[in-house]
Chain A
Amino acid sequence: MSIMKREVHDNIIQEKITGLQEIPDYISFTPGKSWDQLEKQLQPKQKKKTILYLAAAVLIATLLISSVKYYTVSSTYNKKEVVLQKSFFKNVNPKNAYLESVALKKREIKSSIIIKEKRNVLVENIVSSENKKMNDSILAFEKSQKENSIIINSVIETNPNIFEEPIVIKNITEKKKFRIIHLNELNTPQPPVLTLNKNISLEEIIYKTGNSNSDIEIKSNKPIFQLQRNKSNTSVGINENQ
């Protein structure tokens, strides 16, 4: 078959095939059914888009709300307008929202005043008690000073040179000195010491010693001196000397 013939045949076939506009009877195709399936595949993308738009809208709304809140705190924005805006976002009746906000503000102010009053009362109490203590201590000090001055005056009267002599201040922390006892002496009894009887009066002593010029006889059985044994015992002596 010549090339020319072939091309003619090809052209006829091409025209016939491309010229076919309707589906032949032997082919079953329902465009509607196919579209339903295609629509299902198309819709998720639409849904995704709408979800994206919704998410963006929500984000913008939250940003707006947060900015409005920030603005109300930081600026001298008309409070009534802000409340109205808030009520718009919260879907509340604007009038009620404003009244509620005013009541809330009043409550807050009241509570703050009460707290302030309580704080003031507490401070006053503390200050007055502290003042009282101070006054008491001052009075006590003044009283003690007065007493001291009386004592000092009386001392000066009796012994005027007492303050002229240098006063030697003894070391309070100085240790008490004890007599050194030998170990052999610990068991041996200490010799008794004669001490002046404290229970006898000065008049009795004078009378008994014969230095009195009075004729009144003072009868007394009390001795002038009394024997007093040293209380030193072994254990105490050792310990204290150490």
Chain B
Amino acid sequence: MEFNQLIKECRKGSITAQKYFYDQYAVKMFLYCRRYLKTNEQTEDILQNGFLKIFKGLVDFSFLNESATIGWMKKIMLNECLQEIRKRNNILSIAEEFDEEIYLEDDIVSKISSDEIYLLVTKIPIGYRTVFNLYVVEGYNHKEIADLLSISEGTSKSQLSKAKAFLQKMITKQNEYHEKRSSR
């Protein structure tokens, strides 16, 4: 089924079309949400809410192309995640200190697999992680992040530096572990 046709069927409220749509994007959206949230259960709940909003929003959605639709879906999911984070008061808005970053070789980062990087990111504390995800993965600038999270730009920068320092430490540890395993 073509994507445009699929969207039309979903708009009509066809359950089979909605199921097909869900199957196509559930994993992608789960991975997207899991980067922001703490647990798998929490992520599943947010994913369901997000899909409900997507199906509801499809009625008024003007279709351009698949990538634009995915971008729109990601935005909905991000809003859901941030709402959940705000609800649980997980954003650290006080600290404006900067952690010193560790020097990393380019090879070290590139050697680590996608799964490992993803795992390391999900281990970053929520406050740092949100800013890190928004800045590094989504490409938002500090002003936009500050507006989104209702924090100052300075807080956003400090949160990012802390997240990066945390991640670099984790990557170094991971690298050491790999080296030990390969030397054996």
Contacts and interface: CB of A to CB of B under 8 A. Distances in A.
Interface of A: 1, 5-6, 8-10, 12-14, 16-29, 31, 34-35, 37-39, 41-43, 45-46, 49
A38 B136 CA distance: 31
Contacts, number: 91
Given A19-B114, A34-B44, A14 B137 contact: yes
Contact of A24 (B104, B118, B167): B118
Contacts of A42: 15, 18, 52, 55
A38 B22 contact: yes
Range for the number of chain B residues in contact with chain A:
35 or more
Interface of B: 13, 15, 18-19, 22-23, 26-28, 30-31, 34-35, 40, 43-44, 47-48, 51-52, 55, 101, 103-104, 106, 109-110, 112-115, 117-119, 121, 136-137, 139, 164, 167
Interface centre among B34, B40, B55, B118 (most CB of A within 10 A): B118
A24 B15 contact: no
A116 B34 CA distance: 90
Contacts of B52: 38, 41-42
Given A17-B137, A46-B15, A41 B48 contact: yes
Leading 8 A-B pairs by shortest Cβ distance: A24-B115, A31-B26, A16-B114, A16-B117, A20-B114, A10-B136, A38-B48, A12-B109
Contacts of B19: 35, 39
Contact of A13 (B115, B117, B119): B117
B110 A12 contact: yes
What is the interface of chain A mostly: helix, strand, loop, or mixed? helix
Contacts of A18: 137
Contacts of A35: 19, 22-23, 26
Given A34-B48, A42-B52, A23 B30 contact: yes
A110 B112 CA distance: 102
B44 A29 contact: yes
